[in-house]
Amino acid sequence: MKLDKNKGITAAKGWQASGVASGVKSGGKKDLALIYSEIPAETAAAFTSNQVVAAPVIVTRELLKSESKTQAVVVNSGNANACTGEQGLANARAMIRLVKDGLNLRAGALVASTGIIGEQLEMDKVGPAISLAIEKLDTGGGQDAAEAIMTTDAFLKQAAIEVELGGVIVHLGGMAKGAGMIAPRLTPHATMIVVITTDAAIAPKLLQKSLNAAISRSFNRATVDGNTSTNDTVIFLANGAAKNKKIESNTSSDFQIFQRALNELLIYFAKMIVSDGEGATKLITYKIIGAANEVEATVIGMSIANSILVKTAFFGGDPNWGRILVAAGMAGIPLLADRLELSIGGVALVKGGQGVEYDKQIIKNVLGAPEIAVTLDLKQGESEAVCYGCDLSYDYVKINAEYHT
Amino acid sequence: MKLDKNKGITAAKGWQASGVASGVKSGGKKDLALIYSEIPAETAAAFTSNQVVAAPVIVTRELLKSESKTQAVVVNSGNANACTGEQGLANARAMIRLVKDGLNLRAGALVASTGIIGEQLEMDKVGPAISLAIEKLDTGGGQDAAEAIMTTDAFLKQAAIEVELGGVIVHLGGMAKGAGMIAPRLTPHATMIVVITTDAAIAPKLLQKSLNAAISRSFNRATVDGNTSTNDTVIFLANGAAKNKKIESNTSSDFQIFQRALNELLIYFAKMIVSDGEGATKLITYKIIGAANEVEATVIGMSIANSILVKTAFFGGDPNWGRILVAAGMAGIPLLADRLELSIGGVALVKGGQGVEYDKQIIKNVLGAPEIAVTLDLKQGESEAVCYGCDLSYDYVKINAEYHT
C-alpha cells in the first residue's frame, strides 16, 4: 500500500479520462475534464453544506436519488455555475445530456463545476468541448483531466494507491482541485472538487460508508480560509473491474484494508489542497490529543486552524502559543485550562496551562520548515483528531484583494 | 441625548479617575488606570466566553458573587495576566488589596488586565503605580485613564452621553480599548476592556439587564478577527449621584431612555474598536434584514463579517457579492438562496439570488469610503440585526506576523 503521486483518476482498471480547453478559460488552458467507465460504477458522493448551492450540485444530488450507477463525470473549471438561477440548472442538465448522448450511456452521468460565481456558463463553448473530450478519452488521460479542473491551484493534484484484497490487486485513484474557499464541511459529512475512481467490487452502501469515514478524517478536517464553497463535490466511483471478491461487510478485513487505502488517499489530497492554500507558505498539522471524544478534538483543532491570529503568527515564524490557547478556548468545548500541554515540532511550549522555557534556536528551525506539527493535549480523555491548516501571508491578501470580479 | 466624544469615564457625577505609567510598558507610557467613586456603585459586568480565562477575570468574577457594590476598578495594560497559574491569581488579588487598602474602601474593587499572554505581572512596578494612581485620582482624569488602557489601539476611545430622567440630568460615560483578538461573544451575553460609569440611580438587576441588552446589540455583533480573548471584560457601575428617582421597572419610560442611551454608547464603542481593528482601513456594517428572528440575523451577519474572503475583497475595493452569499450560506442557518437580495451602499447587486447589472463607477465610490453599509435581505421574516466588521489588509498580516513573543 503505497501512494503513487504520478498516477491518478485512470489508475484503476476500466477508467478513461480526458481534459480539453473549451475557451471558457483564457489562453487555451484546459478547463473541461471527462471521466468514463464502460462498466457502470457504484457511486458515492458528498456535497457542500453551504445553503447557497451551485446548479451542478443541485442537479447531481437530484440524479443520485434515482440513478444508482454512474458511467461518466464531467467537470468544468473557470465558471462555478453558482447563483445562476433556472438558466444555470438548465445548463448543468444540458452538460449531462451532451455526455450521455455523446457516449450513448446506459447508466448515469454527473456534473461538477468550479470557478467564478454568478455568471452563466457559455454553453456554445462547453458543448463542443464535451464532444472533443469524448473523442480524447484515454486510459492515460488522468493527468489531462486533473489539469483541466484546476483554478487558482498552483499545482496539479492526483494520486493513486493499490491494495491486495484476497489475492487480487485493487486500485484507487483520484484527482482534486482547490486552493481557496476551502473549509469543506461536507454533507453527508465538499470549491473543492475531488473525484476518486476504483476498480474494486464493493457494495454501494459500503462505498458511501467508506467515503463518509474517509472524508470525516480528511477534507472535513482541512481549512485554508474557513469558507465553505457553493460547489464542493466529492464523487467516488467503483466499477468492479478488478474482479476482487465483492466487499459486502464493513467488518471484513477487505473493507478495513480498502478503508485504510481510501483514508490515505483522501488525507493526501486534503494536505495537498491545504499546502496549495492561497498564499500559503506552510502546511500545519494540528493534532489534538487527550480529548473527551473525537468530535471535540476536531472542533478544537479546526478552531485553531481557522484562527487568523494563529495563521499570521505561523507566517511570521513566531511560537505564539497564547494565540493557540485562545483559539482552543473559544471553540465552545469545555476545557480544563490549567491542564493544557502544547508542543510544536516536539518542543514543549506549555505545560499545566502555563508557558515553559524552550530553546529559541530549535523552535526557530521548527517554524522555518514547510510542514509544522502542533500537538495540543487537552488531558481530558483518550480521543484524538488531526486537522490540517496553513499560514496566512501577504500573498493571501494580494490574491484575494487584487482579484476583481 | 447626544454623544460627547471628548468626555469619558469621569463624565458622570461622583466619579474620579487617573492613568499612570508603572514601567511595565516601555518608554514611560501610561499603563495603569484607576477609577473611583466615593459612593459605592451598583455593579453589572460581562466577561469573555473563552474557556481559557485570565486571572483578573477569574478574580473579578468571584468577587462579584459576594460583593454587590463597587467603589474602584483598576486596569493595567501591557500584560494580560493570562495563562499565569496560581501566581497570576495571587497577583490579581494583590492588585485589588492594594487598591482597597490605599483607598480605605468600604465596598469592593475590581481588576482587569490586557496585554501579553503568558508572563507574570511585575508586581514591583504595579504596586507603586497603584499608589501613584490613587494620589492622582481626579474628576478630570478620564482621558488619562482611557490612555492607560490602550495596547495596540491606534486611538483613544472614550465617550459620554446624558439623558433627562424625570427632570434630572443623568450621565453615562465610558472608556474602551481593543483592536485585535476581537470577537467578544460576552457572557452573560469581552481583549476588549470597557468600563462604563453612570450617576444614575438604578436597581442592580436592571443595571445588569440593561448591560446585557446593550452588549447583545454592540460588542457581541462586532468582530475584527473572529478571536475571543482570554481577558474581555465589560464593567458597568452606577453610583446614583445624579439623584434621579431610582429606576426600578424595566417597563418604565426612564428605563427605556436609559437603555437607549446605553445602547448608543456601547454601539459607538463597538464601532470604534472595529474601526481601530488591526490593519483595518474600512468599517463595514452588515445589516441583515428579512430574517426569521434576530439570532439568525446576527449569526449570518457575523459569518459574513468574519469571512476573510469578504474582508480581503473589501480591502481590495471589489464588489465580490459571491463571497458574501457564500459566507451567509455557511452560517448554518436555513436560507432560501433564490430569494436573497444584496445591496452595498444602496446599490443593488443581487436580486432573487442572482447578480444584477450595476453602475461600476458608483460602486467604486461606495467601496472607496471609510465606512461601507451592506444590506442583505433574507426574505424569510421580519427580524433584523446589524453587525460590525472591518477589512483585512497587508497591514493586518504585518502587525500579526511581525509581532514576536
Strands B347-351 and B354-355: antiparallel
Per-residue model confidence as pLDDT tens digits over A179-230: 776 666 655 544 678 899 999 999 999 999 999 888 988 888 888 888 777 8
Query: Which residues on A lie below 8 Å from B50 (Cβ)?
Result: 326, 329-330
pLDDT at B138 over 50: yes
Q: Does domain B283-401 have CATH number 3.10.20.340?
A: yes
Q: Does A319 touch chain B (CB under 8 A)?
A: yes
Q: What is the largest CA-CA distance in chain B?
A: 69
Q: Does A395 touch chain B (CB under 8 A)?
A: no
Cβ-defined contact of B226 to A404 (cutoff 8 Å): no
Distances (CA, A) of B301 to A296, B173, B188, B294, B306: 26, 28, 20, 10, 9
Partners of B4 in the β-ladder: B160
| Measured distance CA(A239)–CA(A207) in Å, rounded | 11
Nearest-CB residue to A227 (from B116, B326, B338): B326
Ramachandran bin of A247, using left for φ above 0, alpha for ψ from -120 to 50, beta for the remaining angles? beta
pLDDT at A310 over 60: yes
pLDDT at A74 over 90: yes
Confidence of residue B50 (pLDDT cuts 50, 70, 90): confident
Per-residue model confidence as pLDDT tens digits over A34-66: 999 999 999 999 888 888 889 999 999 999 999
Distance from CA of B87 to the nearest CA of A (A): 11
Cis amide bond preceding A188, omega within 30: yes
Sequence-distant (≥ 6) Cβ neighbours of residue B360 within 8 angstroms = none
> Residue A184: which of A204, A161, A151, A212 has the closest Cα?
A212
Report ipTM for this prediction.
Answer: 0.82
The count of residues in chain B is 405
Provide the grid cell at A5: 503521486
Sequence-distant (≥ 6) Cβ neighbours of residue B285 within 8 angstroms = B371, B372, B373, B374, B386, B387, B388, B389
Strands A157-165 and A3-4: antiparallel
The domains of chain A are located at: 3-275, 283-401
Residue B43: active-site member: no
Q: Does B293 touch chain A (CB under 8 A)?
A: no
pLDDT at B349: 96
Per-residue model confidence as pLDDT tens digits over A313-371: 999 999 999 999 999 998 989 999 999 999 999 999 999 999 999 999 999 999 999 99
pLDDT at A183: 65
pLDDT at B64 over 90: yes
Sequence-distant (≥ 6) Cβ neighbours of residue B365 within 8 angstroms = none
Distances (CA, A) of B260 to A201, B2, B201, B286: 68, 11, 16, 21
pLDDT at A132 over 50: yes
- What are phi and psi for residue A315, nearest 5 degrees? -60, -40
List the catalytic residue out of A43, A48, A114, A191.
A191
Cβ-defined contact of B227 to A307 (cutoff 8 Å): yes
pLDDT at A232: 85
Per-residue model confidence as pLDDT tens digits over B289-298: 999 999 999 9
Return mean pLDDT, chain A. 92
- Identify whether the C-beta of residue A156 lies closer than 8 Å to the C-beta of residue A146: yes
Cβ-defined contact of B227 to A309 (cutoff 8 Å): yes
Fold agreement (A3-275, A283-401): no
Among B49, B52, B61, B342, the strongest candidate for a mutation testing the A interface, having the largest count of A CBs within 10 A, is B52
Cβ-defined contact of B118 to A180 (cutoff 8 Å): no
Sequence-distant (≥ 6) Cβ neighbours of residue B94 within 8 angstroms = B123, B127
pLDDT at A190: 42
SS3 state at B397: helix
Per-residue model confidence as pLDDT tens digits over B252-266: 999 999 999 999 999
SS3 state at A20: strand
| Measured distance CA(A280)–CA(A271) in Å, rounded | 12
Cβ-defined contact of B85 to A306 (cutoff 8 Å): no
- Scored b (16 or more CB within 10 A) or e, A165-192 reads beeeebbbbbbbbbbbbbbbbbbebbbb
List the catalytic residue out of B60, B114, B191, B223.
B191
Closest residue in chain B to residue A318, using alpha carbons only: B404
Distance from CA of B53 to the nearest CA of A (A): 8
Cβ-defined contact of B320 to A226 (cutoff 8 Å): no
| Measured distance CA(A360)–CA(A345) in Å, rounded | 13
Nearest-CB residue to B337 (from A53, A312, A340): A53
pLDDT at B403 over 90: no
Query: Which residues on B lie below 8 Å from A398 (Cβ)?
Result: 394
Question: What number is the average pLDDT over the span B92-100?
Answer: 98
Taking the CB of residue A127, how many other CB atoms lie within 10 A of it? 16
CA angle B175, B181, B182 (to 5 degrees): 55
pLDDT at A113: 94
Per-residue model confidence as pLDDT tens digits over B265-309: 999 999 998 998 888 999 999 999 999 999 999 999 999 999 999
pLDDT at A231: 84
Cβ-defined contact of A318 to B52 (cutoff 8 Å): no
Question: What number is the average pLDDT over the span B227-246?
Answer: 89
Nearest-CB residue to A227 (from B82, B307, B392): B307
Cis amide bond preceding B188, omega within 30: yes
Helix/strand/coil (H/E/C) assignment for every residue in A281-337: CCEEEEEEEEECCHHHHHHHHHHHHHCHHHHHHHHHCCCCHHHHHHHHHCCCCCCCH
Distance from CA of A371 to the nearest CA of B (A): 17
Indicate the CATH number for domain B15-275. Answer: 3.60.70.12
Per-residue model confidence as pLDDT tens digits over B318-371: 999 999 999 999 898 999 999 999 999 999 999 999 999 999 999 999 999 999
pLDDT at B105 over 50: yes
Q: Which of residues 122-161 of B touch A (CB under 8 A)?
A: none
Strand runs (DSSP E) across B213-282, as ranges?
A: 233-238
Cβ-defined contact of A397 to B394 (cutoff 8 Å): yes
Question: What is the value of pTM for the model shown?
Answer: 0.85
Per-residue model confidence as pLDDT tens digits over A247-293: 999 999 999 999 999 999 999 999 998 998 888 999 999 999 999 99
Nearest-CB residue to B315 (from A185, A228, A401): A401
CA angle B64, B68, B74 (to 5 degrees): 60
pLDDT at B185: 62
Sequence-distant (≥ 6) Cβ neighbours of residue B31 within 8 angstroms = B20, B21, B22, B24, B25, B76, B77, B78, B129, B148
pLDDT at A136 over 90: yes
The H or E element that residue A111 is part of is strand A108-116
pLDDT at B225: 83
Closest residue in chain B to residue A352, using alpha carbons only: B85
Amino acid at B262: L
> Residue B99: which of B123, B71, B121 has the closest Cα?
B71
> Residue A99: which of A67, A126, A65, A74 has the closest Cα?
A74
Lowest mean pLDDT among A74-88, A123-137, A144-158, B184-198: B184-198
Query: What percent of chain B lies above the pLDDT cut of 70?
Result: 97
pLDDT at B187: 57
What's the start-to-end Cα distance of chain B, in Å?
44
| Measured distance CA(B240)–CA(B396) in Å, rounded | 43
Q: Which of residues 38-67 of A touch B (CB under 8 A)?
A: 49-53
pLDDT at A22 over 90: yes
Q: A3-275: which CATH architecture?
A: 4-Layer Sandwich (3.60)
pLDDT at A400: 87
Provide the grid cell at A168: 487480487
> Residue A127: which of A161, A76, A162 has the closest Cα?
A76
pLDDT at B190 over 50: no
What's the start-to-end Cα distance of chain A, in Å?
44
Instruction: Choose between B83 and B192: higher pLDDT.
Output: B83
CA angle A189, A195, A201 (to 5 degrees): 90
Query: What percent of chain B lies above the pLDDT cut of 90?
Result: 79
pLDDT at B189 over 60: no
